[in-house]
Structure formats: C-alpha cells, structure tokens
C-alpha cells in the first residue's frame, strides 16, 4: 500500500513527457508551410457572387520572420507593381508613379476577400501566441491571440492536421470573437526539397456574402536572399530575381 501511495504522489508532481507546447507546435506549422527563406509563384483568384473572376499571378520572396516582397506578373494592367512588408509596415510600388506608397494590412492590393496581411503572410508564430490548445483526435485546435494591436486579426482559431502539422482551417476573429473570415487549406502537395504543404488556400467572409478568394501555389523552393532585396529602393527591381 505504501509503495502505491508513493507512486501516486510521484505521478501527481511529474511533468508529462507527452505534453506538447502550443507555441513550439505553431513554429513547426510555420516551417511546414514554407522554408525560412524561399521564393514562390502563386495565382490569386477573386470570385464575385455572379461568378465573375479576376486573376493575378505574383512572384513572392520571403526571408526570416518579418520580410516579404512580391511582384505582379499578370494581368498586364498590374505587371510591374510590387509590394514589400517589413513586420507590420507595408508599401506598394507602381511603375511611373514615383516613390512607393504606404499601405495597411487590412487593405487589399488585389481587392477580394484576401487582405494585404493574407497575401504577404508572415510566420503565424511571429504575430501570435498560443493561448490554448485542444486535442480532438486527428486534429489540434490552436487558440491564438495577437501579440500586438497592429496585427490584422485579434484572434485566430486554427485547426491543425496532426499527421502533417499543417492548417486545415483558420477562423479569423475580432477581440469580441466576431468572425471576420474563414481560411481553408486544401490539396496538400509535394513541392520538392522537403516542402509538403497545402497548394490551395480559399477564403470567404460573412462580411462579403457570396464573394470568395482563392490562392494557388504553383511553385515553392528554398532560396537564400540578401537583405537588400527587402528594401524600398529594390522594389522596382524585384522582377530581376525571377
């Protein structure tokens, strides 16, 4: 009996070896979505309630936790425009218009349901802390809270596939838990080089009923990039990286 009591007391104070740290899990999700430094091609499609579509193709580069830049390849009316994000600071460069102009995370350079924060996505772990984690069988649910007030969404509720450790669905919420939009991650694809991630991201919003936006990744690969690439002065030259 005494041995049993000692064992039970030891179990009460022991740290479970199976305990998972939510913030560490979120960092793994980030790395599974993309390498720390990479280049990619993606198509953005905005779909209106009447079925009308508008498509854009972008070339994107990212380095570290806070540097993202992209240039429009098509349509012709947008070709040569480029965007830059350094942390929560964003700029849009338009050829023949002069110096880059400041833009915000909640605006959208392409219209549609995706905003600039979605298009120029940083690592989730750089913007959010995990407040709570649930285990629901094949998935984890991560409850995320923004680290600062400048982040596009105050809270995120993220469903993560346990096997692949990539998002399945994310609900973007206000501080009062009002749903702003839902993002769906689909079609997990092998891009080579150890990159296995969803190739299709879709979003809809109760604020824009009947509208939908889709982001399709065609290529993604790790690439070392100089810090010079992520400067305002380099924005007109982004196409030279292709």
Domain of residue 159 covers: 19-241
- Residues whose CB is less than 8 angstroms from the CB of residue 241 and which lie 6 or more positions away in sequence, other chains included: 39, 59, 61, 225, 229
Report if residue 1 sits inside a domain: no
Say whether 117 sits in a helix, a strand or coil: helix
Report if residue 105 sits inside a domain: yes
Examine the pLDDT at 163 and tell me if it is beyond 90.
yes
Tell me how far the alpha carbon of residue 88 is from its chain's centroid: 14
CATH number for the domain that contains residue 35: 2.50.20.10
pLDDT tens-digit readout, 199-235: 999 999 999 999 999 999 999 999 999 999 999 999 9
Q: Which residues pair with 211 in a beta bridge?
A: none
What is the count of structural domains for the chain? Answer: 1
Report if residue 204 sits inside a domain: yes
Q: Which of 94-98, 99-103, 217-221 has the lowest mean pLDDT?
A: 94-98
Report if residue 201 sits inside a domain: yes
Report if residue 72 sits inside a domain: yes
Report if residue 62 sits inside a domain: yes
Distances 233 to 58, 104, 194, 215, 227 between C-alpha atoms, Å = 19, 19, 33, 28, 12
What pTM was estimated for this model as a whole? 0.87
Q: Which residues pair with 55 in a beta bridge?
A: 45
Report if residue 125 sits inside a domain: yes
Report if residue 10 sits inside a domain: no
pLDDT tens-digit readout, 172-192: 999 999 999 999 999 999 999
């Amino acid at each position: 009996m005494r041995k049993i009591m000692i064992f039970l007391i030891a179990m009460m104070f022991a740290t479970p070896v199976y305990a998972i740290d939510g913030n560490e899990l979120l960092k793994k999700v980030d790395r599974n979505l993309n390498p720390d430094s990479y280049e990619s091609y993606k198509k953005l499609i905005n779909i209106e309630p009447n079925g009308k579509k508008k498509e854009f193709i972008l070339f994107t580069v990212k380095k570290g936790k806070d540097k993202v830049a992209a240039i429009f390849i098509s349509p012709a009316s947008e070709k040569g425009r480029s965007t830059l994000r350094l942390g929560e600071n964003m700029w849009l460069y338009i050829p023949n218009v002069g110096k880059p102009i400041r833009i915000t995370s909640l605006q959208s350079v392409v219209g549609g349901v995706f905003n600039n924060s979605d298009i120029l996505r940083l690592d989730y772990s750089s913007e959010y802390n995990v407040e709570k984690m649930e285990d629901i069988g094949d998935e984890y649910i991560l409850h995320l809270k923004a680290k600062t007030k400048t982040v596009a969404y105050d809270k995120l509720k993220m469903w993560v596939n346990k096997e692949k450790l990539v998002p399945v669905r994310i609900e973007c919420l206000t501080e009062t838990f009002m749903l702003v939009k839902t993002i769906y991650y689909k079609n997990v694809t092998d891009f080579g080089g150890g990159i296995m991630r969803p190739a299709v991201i879709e979003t809809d919003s109760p604020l824009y009923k009947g509208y939908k936006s889709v982001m399709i990744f065609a290529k993604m690969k790790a690439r070392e990039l100089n810090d010079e690439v992520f400067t305002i002065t380099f924005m007109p030259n982004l196409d030279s990286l292709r």
